[in-house]
Amino acid sequence: MRSSPTILHLDMDAFFATVEQASKPSLRGKAVVVGGLGPRGVVATASYEARVFGVHSAMPMAQARRLAPNAAYLVPRFALYRSISEQVMGLLRDLSPLVEPLSLDEAFVDLEAGGTAWDEQSARLAGAKLRADIRAVTGLTGSVGLAASKMLAKIASEQAKPDGLVLIEPGTERALLGPMSVRTLPGVGPATGDHLRRAGIHTVDELAEAGEDELVRLLGKAHGHALYAMALARDERPVVAEREAKSVSVEDTYDVDIHDRVRVGTEVRRLADRCVRRLRGAGLSGRTIVLKVRRYDFSTLTRSETLRGPTDDPAVVREAAARLLESVDTTGGVRLLGVGISGLADYTQEDLFAQAAGVREDTLAEEPEAAPAEERQAPTERLWPAGHDVRHAAYGHGWVQGSGLGRVTVRFETPHSEPGRVRTFRTDDPDLEPAEPLPLVTRRPGEGERAGTGGVGSTSP
Question: Is the bond preceding 162 in cis, omega lying within 30 degrees of 0?
Answer: yes
Closest listed residue to residue 326, CA positions, set 247, 233, 264, 276: 264
Is 257 annotated in a binding site? The answer is no
List Cβ neighbours of 129 (8 Å cut-off, separation of 6 or more). none
Backbone angles phi, psi at 124, to 5 degrees: -65, -40
Catalytic annotation on 106?
Answer: yes
- Dist. CA 423–CA 413, nearest whole Å: 11
Q: Is 11 annotated as a binding residue?
A: yes
* Residue from 100, 106, 112, 267 carrying the catalytic annotation: 106
Chain-centroid distance, C-alpha 98? 21
- In whole angstroms, give the CA distance from residue 435 to residue 148: 45
Instruction: For residue 174, give the nearest of 145, 137, 149, 202 by alpha carbon.
Output: 149
Handedness of CA 26, 50, 250, 283 (dihedral sign): positive
Binding positions for Mg(2+) are 11, 105
Q: Which residues are annotated as a binding site?
A: 11, 105
Q: Which residues have a catalytic role annotated? A: 106
